Amino acid sequence: KAGLKDGRIKMKRYNAATTSSEDLKAALQRPSQRSTEMIMGIVNPIIKDVRTGGDEALLGYTHKFEKATSLTSPVLKAPYPQSLMDLPPETIEAIDISFENIRKFHAAQKEDKPLQVETMPGVVCTRFARPIERVGLYVPGGTAVLPSTALMLGVPAMVAGCKTIVLASPPRADGSITPEIVYVAHKVGAESIVLAGGAQAVAAMAYGTESVSKVDKILGPGNQFVTAAKMYVSNDTNAGVSIDMPAGPSEVLVIADKESNPAFVASDLLSQAEHGVDSQVILIAIDLSEKELSAIEDELHKQAMALPRVDIVRGAIEHSVTLVVKDIEEAMKLSNDYAPEHLILQLKDAASVVALVENAGSVFIGEWTPESVGDYSAGVNHSLPTYGYAKQYSGVNLGSYVKHITSSQLTAQGLRNVGGAVMQLAKVEELEAHRRAVSLRIKYMDDNKL
């Protein structure tokens, strides 16, 4: 059986030509998650507690879940003492390079000037962007240190010009926070770091507490408790808060052909499989022979066995599959249906295949573009839609931190030009005050010979 302890680490293989479409669909099912009701049942009381109990309730949950019983204040305010961001120079350099690339790519997404269209003579419509004033960025911290997520969420907030940036991340058991995260918070100008995780951190940012600033939007990945809490608060009109997107476990889909390097293909599959046992990795192999498929499978096993997180990899590989297809069209059809968070094209003419991509969070083109460059340093964002949500959501980008406002401005002639249509539609909808707002102005123009 695939992924058995101590057994060979191997993905289940299907040949699309000899597999029914139902079986193919079943093979591409994401691993099932715990039921939303069950998770909500756990999360709802936590949210209510923090909403009413404020800092004390928040601290209580941090003592319970993070075992950080020595923590006496749930918030670290800027400016952060240098002693909390003491890092080796090579780590500082890596963060600085990544920061700059992410900054450049997101700054380029800024709209220089308002969009302006004269829809009829004298009728001018514009659209302009303004930053969301206060954002709360959740940086997961349960099982791994994730300064890269702090960068991916914090840099665009800074570039967009959000006035208040609050970062939240669960502290370590001794009550401290990873220095890499403090350094990123300092670089992006975050006003504070909430030392809490899970539903309690989300609730604190959504409603505010004595020491946690209330925010207008919460962004960032997290486990099912975090996601459920984000969904709850975004549905509560008392919170007045929005969220980026629902998040699920990480996933990758690699499309490889005869030109691809088996070691590269295996390394890309494994770099997602090590995220968590609930991660899923898919290989779509175009017209590969038995020998070529075995070469990838041998590499996968060999490289996996050398990884420190081999046990997590085993779990993820249990529900991961290889699909053998005949051509790129068939491969892209399956990929677009699956809508992967990450799509890697290890193909001869990879760049030309991008035109066929309809659904994906982020695309990695060609053999020299491992997904890890996008995870950390290339400049693209790694906070991406999972679980098939790439069909309707974009990954985090500059637009996630702004809202668009429209305006219209008419001249007297403009109102004459469009007024007839307005008055007729107001009549159809029987909204007489609407109709009169136009008709009395037109009468005024007529009376005053304008």
Count of residues touching ligand NAD (by CB under 6 A): 26
The correct pick among 101, 149, 164, 271 for binding ligand NAD (CB under 6 A) is 149
Site membership for ligand NAD, residue 42 (CB under 6 A):
yes
Amino acid at site 61: Y
Piece in contact with ligand NAD (CB under 6 A), picked from 50-58, 69-77, 142-150, 411-419: 142-150
Whether residue 432 lies in the annotated active site: no
CA 9, 10, 15: angle at the middle one, nearest 5?
A: 180
Q: Per DSSP, what are the bridge partners of residue 256? A: 285, 346
Active-site residue (options: 66, 342, 371, 382): 342
Residue pair 3/314 in contact by the 8 Å Cβ criterion: yes
Site membership for ligand NAD, residue 340 (CB under 6 A):
no
Smallest distance, ligand NAD to C-beta of residue 168, A: 9
Site membership for ligand NAD, residue 315 (CB under 6 A):
no
Among candidates 302, 308, 307, 304, which has minimal Cα distance to 317?
304
Between 46 and 85, name the residue whose CB sits nearer to ligand NAD.
46
Position with the least CB separation from ligand NAD: 198
Backbone dihedral angles phi then psi of residue 392, each to the nearest 5 degrees? -130, -5
Site membership for ligand NAD, residue 141 (CB under 6 A):
yes
Residue 72: CB atoms within 10 A of its CB come to: 7
Between 168 and 347, name the residue whose CB sits nearer to ligand NAD.
168
> 67 burial class (0-12, 13-18, 19+ CB within 10 angstroms)?
middle
- CA 378/CA 264 separation, integer angstroms: 18
- CA 33/CA 85 separation, integer angstroms: 36
Smallest distance, ligand NAD to C-beta of residue 170, A: 4
The correct pick among 10, 383, 389, 416 for binding ligand NAD (CB under 6 A) is 383
- CA 268/CA 261 separation, integer angstroms: 11
Smallest distance, ligand NAD to C-beta of residue 230, A: 11
Residue pair 167/177 in contact by the 8 Å Cβ criterion: no
The correct pick among 15, 82, 91, 143 for binding ligand NAD (CB under 6 A) is 143
Whether residue 342 lies in the annotated active site: yes
Residue pair 197/142 in contact by the 8 Å Cβ criterion: yes
Piece in contact with ligand NAD (CB under 6 A), picked from 13-21, 25-33, 138-146, 424-432: 138-146
Residue 45: CB atoms within 10 A of its CB come to: 10
The correct pick among 31, 147, 156, 170 for binding ligand NAD (CB under 6 A) is 170
H-state helical runs in 66-136: 89-107
Backbone dihedral angles phi then psi of residue 202, each to the nearest 5 degrees? -65, -45
Q: Could you give the string, one character per residue 59-98, with x where binding to ligand NAD holds by CB under 6 A and - elsewhere?
A: ------xx--------------------------------
Name every residue whose Cβ is closer than 8 Å to that of residue 32 and which is 6 or more positions away in sequence.
none
Among residue numbers 205 through 244, which ones bind ligand NAD (CB under 6 A)? Answer: 221-223, 225-226
CA 446, 449, 450: angle at the middle one, nearest 5?
A: 90
Smallest distance, ligand NAD to C-beta of residue 59, A: 13
Between 223 and 320, name the residue whose CB sits nearer to ligand NAD.
223
**Residues of this chain that bind ligand NAD (CB under 6 A):** 42, 65-66, 140-143, 146, 149, 170, 197-198, 221-223, 225-226, 247, 249-250, 275-276, 382-384, 386
Which residues are known catalytic residues? 341-342
